[in-house]
Amino acid sequence: MIKLQKYFELAKCAGIEALEIYIVRNYSLGFSLFHGEIDSYTTNDSISLGARGIFNGKMGYAYSEKIDKSTPEFIIKNIVENAKNITSENKVSIFEGSKKYKKYNCYNKELDLIPVETKLNKLYELERKLKESDPRITEIGGVGYEETRGETILANSYGLRLSEKSNYYVFYAEAVAKDGEDTKTGYKTFLDCDFNKFDLDKFVEEVKDNTIKQLGGKPCKSKNYRAVLAPRVVSSLLSAMLNSTIAEEVQKHSSLFEGKLNTQVVSKKITISEKPLAHNIFFKGFDDEGVATYNKDIIKNGVLKTFLYNIETALKDGVQTTGNGYRSSSKSPVETGYNNIFLKPGKLSEEKMIGKVKNGIYIDSITGLHAGLNSQSGNFSLQATGFIIKDGKISDPVNLITVAGNLVKVFQDVTMVANNIELLTNATSVPSIAIKSIMVSGN
Amino acid sequence: MISKSQAIEILNAGLATGADFVEIFIEEKYNNNLSIDNDKIETISSGIIYGAGIRLLRDLRSVYGYTNDLSKKSLLTLASTLAASFQGERILEVKKLTKQKVKNVHTTSRHLNEVTKEEKISFITKISDEMKQFGDKIVRRIVSFGDNTQKIVIINSDGKIFEDTRERGRLYISALTSDKNGIESSGVGPGASKGFEYFEKEIDALALARNVCEVAIKKLTAKECPSGKMPVVIGNGFGGVIFHEACGHPLEASSVSKNLSVFANKLGQQIAAPVVTAIDDGTIVNEWGSNNIDDEGNKTQKTTLIKDGILVNYLIDNFNGRRMGMKGNGACRRQSYAFEPTSRMSNTYIAAGKSTVDEIIKTVKLGLYAKSLGGGSVNPTTGDFNFAADEAYMIRNGKIAEMVKGATLIGNGAEVLLNIDMVGNDIKLAQGMCGASSGSIPVDVGQPTIRVSEITVGGRGGALK
């Protein structure tokens, strides 16, 4: 373990008012197969230290993966040097600690005890069954297993010491289906910390279906369609919209929700909550500034209830932090993030919802969000795949189309929310939704 | 860093169970990032990336592990853990290591890690100030400068040691505009494998900043792009991202060797229109995507991928090359020691043709001129791609007409390559970061202005008129 005393001593000598150290330790194991053989096998044991400190009222940052005798000096020297150059007048603070922290064990020891061979055999079985699932599945693009054990430690010069451990595994598979010259790929992941929860046959069936059903896909007619959006599509658009609930975006005038607190911003059918304390693998009892997290509604029945704050943005608005100070890694500064997002499900099954839409389009996937979305205006134009909805049923596959619209408008236009809630790898739990209209560009 | 005798011991531990190749990749990288947001320097970050990755190969199998603990004990444990995934007898033993000559062609006069933070700050502040003249419509000016110095050592069971130091800097300028019509943005990010002299003298950073502001302001009043199939003229420089996404990725051995690429088994075949010649060149002096050696020690190369429309080569790393019966051609790269390396692009571009830009525009009666593009992505198995236009205009009766915003180009790489029917003479490179299985790496994309006879354009402006 890293001895932290030296850091705090040096900081004091250098005139740093408060110092915070954030350490991430990671062990991982992963392997993938190709044609029945292990094609790649990776393992790692890594540690990374990020630190920040207040010098003359300014926050300086530094990090290192090189942990030896020279590290404390490098870190403290750079914190001081960087703080000296900061000209922002934002008030900064390092947190003394919350009164109480909620705990939940998201470390499953059992997973470590299962021999590597058992995990590997499961993967062989997955590849074999997927290959045999349909004659049109001509190739398995990759099947893999990865498991990660992580530990986060947060310590500061006020004496706060927090740590959290978690582990989980992921199975993923990509299948390639061919019919003549037509090639389609389908991909799926499964994430949990209980190895027994992985239902291999169900997973194979889903990957196969995802792939085969796209065969024969072609562009459809360009026009406005009534649409059903699959959970992963909803999740991507939702994450993009949530960016506008981040206080920093509001303060910098780049939020779509500036000035809209406590007003109706989307359809009444939409309730979005952040539940960092939900008992799943994404549980977090404290944020990356050491603030105890809590569950909250961000949008309730279409009304924007709160912006998300870290300590710095909260000080600026004269409010309390909402416990949303997160770092994207120990190398990044504290920004604002969220964890475990839930979109409240409705009562209808997806199938019934499609039935009610009658004629329209089912959007199964979208790509290109990083380029095709203007996060400032909310306008997007994205590559999509899906299916025509005809007479209340899924019919012809569609690909190489773009769907265009506006993020906020999509959630304003929601007509139905289904009950097929699914926890996705980006820590969002969302169902399918139906919307009034989306502009499709195809033929 | 570890000694020669320690390295030999570690390599031999990795070879104990029948691996036919073992490689240790050691990295120490110093990063510095600073940015100014409107007039405030809000965060400055400095840090060290440090660790070692060990790779074992046995026929068509690879195992990889990494750690930040570079003690002999830790690396020996890692090598033995990895070796335990093979069940065989030793077939190789390393006795001697010889340092290989690596010539640094990317020379620099003002090393980025020797320029003070104060000087870098005054540089970005000047750029940010230059943007003020555009008034209130510019609501946010962000200028950032990041640089890194990466020292690498590669030691392998062929008995070779390679050492190199890479230095890169990148400037990023963006402007956010807002008025009653909404919010728009534009940005530019020049970079080089070169010192500070590149940024202060060789590029005109102030002119770039002014242009960013002008485009972002113009976009406020631009109409939404119409949708439909139309001829598209794609501008030079970053327009090359089309080739990068739609054709470059599927030419990487990582997908070709497994038959997962649309271009697998097509060497010698016509895969593009005869006007298309495409090149990947990791040797261009001081270029952002260049290196002296790749991340397995092979010298980088200038590789012609497509010659007059005929597929002539792939981007190959040694490991995937085994499956293809071909040798690595200096295209093996990784973000850091935490990634197993694989075949990647460096500076990839479509070579210059003969047409002038005017000649190309003149041929289009009704279509789109995507002057510069944003990012995009591609499915390497199907070749389906998408990318967004950052600055685009309609072409009407052979003339550049009104600006349009929100255009997305989608299509299939294999089809678009065949549909390129004119190639301009104005070749230009542009810098970017490329993400794939071996991480995020600096690359150049590039091309002259080209014309594609038909692409599906997505936009919110209704049918094409």
**DSSP string spanning A332-356?**
SPPEE----EEEPP-SB-HHHHHHH
B33 CB-near residues (< 8 Å, 6+ apart):
B44, B45, B46, B144, B145, B146
Backbone angles phi and psi of B213, in degrees to 5: -65, -45
pLDDT for res B383: 79
**Which helix (H) or strand (E) element contains residue A23?**
strand A18-34
A99 with A170, same domain: the answer is yes
pLDDT-derived band at A264 (thresholds 50, 70, 90) equals: very high
Is A120 in the same domain as A73?
Answer: yes
Interface contact flag, B377 A367, Cβ < 8 Å: yes
Q: Which CATH number goes with the domain that contains A54?
A: 3.30.2290.10
Question: Does residue A328 sit at the B interface (CB-CB below 8 Å)?
Answer: no
Mapped onto helix, strand or coil, the DSSP state of residue A53 is strand
Q: How many domains does chain A have?
A: 2
Domain span including residue A244: 217-443
**Are A47 and A105 in a shared domain?**
yes
Residues of B in contact with A62 (CB under 8 A): 45-47
Percent of chain B with pLDDT over 70: 100
Please indicate if any CB of chain B lies within 8 Å of the CB of A399. yes
Question: C-alpha angle A47/A53/A57, rounded to 5°?
Answer: 165
CB-CB under 8 Å, B406 with A379:
yes
Residue B262 dihedral angles phi and psi, to the nearest 5°: -60, -20
Is pLDDT of A277 > 80?
A: yes
CB B94, CB B159: distance < 8 Å:
yes
The answer to whether the beta carbons of residues A293 and A339 sit under 8 Å apart is: yes
What letters, b where the CB count within 10 A reaches 16 and e where it falls short, cover A399-434?
bbbbbbbbbbebbbbbbbbbebbebbeebbbbbbbb
Inter-chain touch B338–A44, beta carbons under 8 Å? yes
Cβ separation of A404 and B375 shorter than 8 Å?
no
Contacts of B319 in chain A (CB under 8 A): none
Asked if the C-beta of A355 comes within 8 angstroms of chain B's C-beta atoms, the answer is no
Chain A residue with CA closest to B380: the answer is A185
pTM over 0.90: no
Question: C-alpha dihedral over B344, B347, B348, B349, to 10 degrees?
Answer: 180
The confidence score (pLDDT) of residue A1 equals 66
CA distance B364 to B50: 53
State the smallest CA–CA distance between residue A429 and chain B in angstroms: 25
pLDDT the model gives residue A368 = 75
Model confidence at B381: pLDDT above 80: no
- Residue B450 carries which side chain, given as an amino acid letter? I
**Residue in B107, B91, B108, B98 with CA at minimum distance from that of residue B56:** B91
Alpha carbon distance, N-terminus to C-terminus of chain B: 65
Strands A360-367 and A414-417: unpaired
Domain boundary among A211, A239, A259: A211
Give the angle subtended at the CA of B63 by the CAs of B58 and B66, to the nearest 5°: 140
Reported as a pLDDT band with limits 50, 70 and 90, residue A426 is: confident
**Is A176 near chain B, with CB under 8 Å?**
yes
Residue-wise pLDDT tens digits, B67-106: 999 999 999 999 999 999 888 999 999 999 999 999 999 9
Question: What mean pLDDT is predicted for residues A33-37?
Answer: 88
Q: Are residues A370 and A258 in the same domain?
A: yes
A117 with A30, same domain? yes
Which of B73, B337, B149, B68 lies closest to A67, judged by CA?
B68
Nearest CA in chain B to A334: B43
Mean confidence (pLDDT) of chain A: 94
**Considering A195, A211, A227, which residue would you say is the last residue of a domain?**
A211
From residue B303, give the alpha-carbon distance in Å to each of B252, B315, B325, B328.
12, 8, 18, 11
Residue A199 sits in the same domain as residue A222: no
- Which tops the pLDDT comparison, A408 or B182? A408
How far from each other are the two terminal CA atoms of chain A, in whole angstroms? 61
Task: At A378, list the tokens.
Answer: 């909310």
CB contact under 8 A, A38 and B85: yes
Question: Looking at the structure, do residues A319 and A180 belong to the same domain, yes or no?
Answer: no
Asked whether B54 and B26 are in contact (CB, 8 A), the reply is no
| A242 shares a domain with A180 | no
Angstroms from A307 CA to nearest CA on chain B = 20
- Whether chain B has a CB inside 8 Å of the CB on A400: the answer is yes
Judged by a CB distance cut-off of 8 A, whether residue A26 touches chain B is no
Q: Tell me the residue type at A38.
A: I
Question: CB under 8 Å to A118, separation ≥6 — which residues?
Answer: none
Instruction: Report H helices in A385-429.
Output: 407-412
Instruction: Give the closest residue to B286 by CA, choosing from B133, B105, B431.
Output: B105
Q: Look at A40 and B64 and tell me if their CB atoms are within 8 Å.
A: yes
Angle at alpha carbon of residue B254, lines to B251 and B259, rounded to 5°: 75
User: Residue A399 contacts by C-beta under 8 Å, 6 or more apart in sequence?
Assistant: A184, A214, A217, A218, A219, A385, B384
Q: What is the Cα A223 distance to its own chain's centre?
A: 32
pLDDT digits (tens, 9 = 90+) for A360-410: 999 999 987 766 787 777 888 888 999 999 999 999 999 989 899 999 999
Range list of H helices, B84-204:
117-130, 196-197
pLDDT in tens, B26-61: 999 999 999 999 999 988 999 999 999 999 999 999
Phi and psi, residue A329, nearest 5°? -165, 175
Residue A236 sits in the same domain as residue A193: no
| Residue numbers in B near A367 (CB within 8 A) | 377, 379, 386
**Cα angle B44, B45, B51; round to 5:** 170
pLDDT tens-digit profile of B236-278? Answer: 999 998 899 888 999 999 999 988 888 999 999 999 999 999 9
Q: Contacts of residue B78 in chain A, CB cutoff 8 Å?
A: 43, 45
- Interchain CB distance below 8 Å, B379 and A185: yes
- The pLDDT confidence band at residue B452, using thresholds 50, 70 and 90, is very high
B410 — pLDDT class (breaks 50, 70, 90): confident
pLDDT of residue A3: 87
Distance CA A321, CA A335 (A): 12
Tell me: pLDDT of A182 over 70. yes
CB contact under 8 A, A42 and B178: no
Task: Give the separation between CA A290 and CA A325, rounded to whole angstroms.
Answer: 9
Dump pLDDT digits (tens) for A104-162: 998 999 999 999 999 999 999 999 999 999 999 999 988 999 999 999 999 999 999 99
| Chain A, chain B: beta-carbon pairs less than 8 Å apart | 233
Q: Are A309 and A428 in the same domain?
A: yes
Q: Which residue of B has its CA nearest to A374?
A: B184
Nearest to A412 by CA among A428, A376, A436: A436
- Partner-chain residue, chosen from B40, B377, B408, that has the shortest CB–CB distance to A381: B408
Indicate whether A238 and A117 sit together in one domain: no
Q: Cα–Cα distances in Å, from B277 out to B251, B259, B306, B352?
A: 14, 23, 5, 8
Strand A360-367 relative to strand A379-390: parallel, antiparallel, unpaired? Answer: antiparallel
The ranges assigned to domains in chain B are 228-458
Q: A134-139 — which CB contacts under 8 Å span 24+ positions? A: A134/A177, A134/A208, A134/A212, A136/A177, A136/A178, A136/A179, A136/A212, A136/A215, A137/A175, A137/A176, A137/A177, A137/A208, A137/A211, A137/A212, A138/A176, A138/A177, A138/A178, A139/A175, A139/A176, A139/A178, A139/B258, A139/B259, A139/B260
CA distance A297 to A342: 9
Stated length of chain B:
465
CA distance B350 to chain A (A): 22
Nearest to B435 by CA among B390, B385, B378: B378
CB < 8 Å to B250, chain A: none
- Report the pLDDT value the prediction gives residue B370, as an integer from 0 to 100: 96
> What pLDDT is stored for residue B380 in this prediction?
66
Domain boundary among A161, A194, A211: A211
The dihedral through the CA atoms of B176, B179, B183, B187 has a sign that is: negative
> Quick one: closest CA in A to B181, which residue?
A377
